[in-house]
Amino acid sequence: MIEDISYDVLVVDDHPMMRRGVMELLDLEDEISPVGEASNGKDAVELALSLEPDLILLDLNMPGMNGIETIKAMRSAGIDSRILIFTVSDDHRNVVDALKEGADGYLLKDMEPEDLVDNIKKAIDGRTAISPELTEALATAIRTRETTEKINTNSLTDREKQVLKLVANGLSNKMIARKLDIAEGTVKVHVKRVLNKLGMRSRVEAAVWVAEGKIK
């Protein structure tokens, strides 16, 4: 049974009241555990490495390292947690940049609390979590990625293709580990290798790519 799984979330925001409010909101959800909070990108990277959360809710405009730079640092450090940008900025350039660097979704802070929770659950389930008014920016980012680089799947092993398809079906690392009867750490290694071989930064990009029939 997978119903008893609790997903760990790290909240990153330089505004203490916003950070605390989100932590308290998520703490009300049985299947979500807010395991940590950070006020800047540097601390967020360190916490993500130590806590290995399933999802990171990340502010875009922070002093020092901004959200885009933080995503880049996290992905370069091998952090494969799902990352959701949570910001007041609806600038499409920020959306595209965030997705290119490895964000798994982009949410605006003017949404209702229950919508935030729903979108976090969507992202954890492997589905696209993006504010409705920004969906065209997501489509543009994916189209740009596909037209500028040729993606080759020949280097993927059978196991890696199997893991990729499960990622595309919305399974988390924990779920994939149970499905394949292997360690969660092994799944993380497979996911990391798949994304590296395909030249992709996020699970959402890989999932959209598979859904469009780019791999059999």
Q: Verify that 91 and 58 share a domain, yes or no.
A: yes
pLDDT over threshold 90, residue 192: no
Q: Could you tell me if residue 111 is inside a domain? A: yes
d(CA 35, CA 70): 19
State pLDDT tens for residues 160-180: 989 988 887 777 777 888 899
Q: Verify that 166 and 130 share a domain, yes or no.
A: no
Query: According to the per-residue pLDDT averaged within each range, which of 14-23, 96-105, 132-141, 182-191 is highest?
Result: 14-23
Name the domain boundary from 144, 174, 198.
144
Residue 166 belongs to a domain with what CATH number? 1.10.10.10
d(CA 153, CA 112): 40
Q: Look at the block and give the residue holding tokens 């798994």.
A: 104
Structure tokens at 186: 């092994």
Q: Verify that 69 and 21 share a domain, yes or no.
A: yes
Contact 107, 83 (CB under 8 A): no
- Residue 2: what pLDDT? 43
Q: Verify that 96 and 159 share a domain, yes or no.
A: no
Q: Verify that 111 and 47 share a domain, yes or no.
A: yes
SS (H, E, C) 106-166: EEECCCCHHHHHHHHHHHHCCCCEECHHHHHHHHHHHHHHHHHCCCCCCCCCHHHHHHHHH
Q: Verify that 45 and 111 share a domain, yes or no.
A: yes
Q: Which of 19, 55, 52 is CA-nearest to residue 38? A: 19
Q: What's the rounded mean pLDDT across residues 114-132?
A: 82
Q: Verify that 86 and 36 share a domain, yes or no.
A: yes
Which domain covers residue 73, as residue numbers? Answer: 7-144
d(CA 71, CA 103): 7
Q: Verify that 58 and 103 share a domain, yes or no.
A: yes
* pTM value > 0.85: no
Contact 81, 56 (CB under 8 A): yes
Provide the percentage of residues in the chain whose pLDDT is more than 70: 82
Q: Verify that 19 and 118 share a domain, yes or no.
A: yes
Residue 81 belongs to a domain with what CATH number? 3.40.50.2300
Q: Verify that 155 and 140 share a domain, yes or no.
A: no
| Count of domains observed in the chain | 2
State pLDDT tens for residues 55-93: 999 999 998 899 999 999 998 898 888 899 999 988 878
List CB contacts of 154: < 8 A, sequence separation 6 or more: none
Contact 167, 203 (CB under 8 A): yes
Provide the percentage of residues in the chain whose pLDDT is more than 90: 41
Name the domain boundary from 119, 144, 169.
144
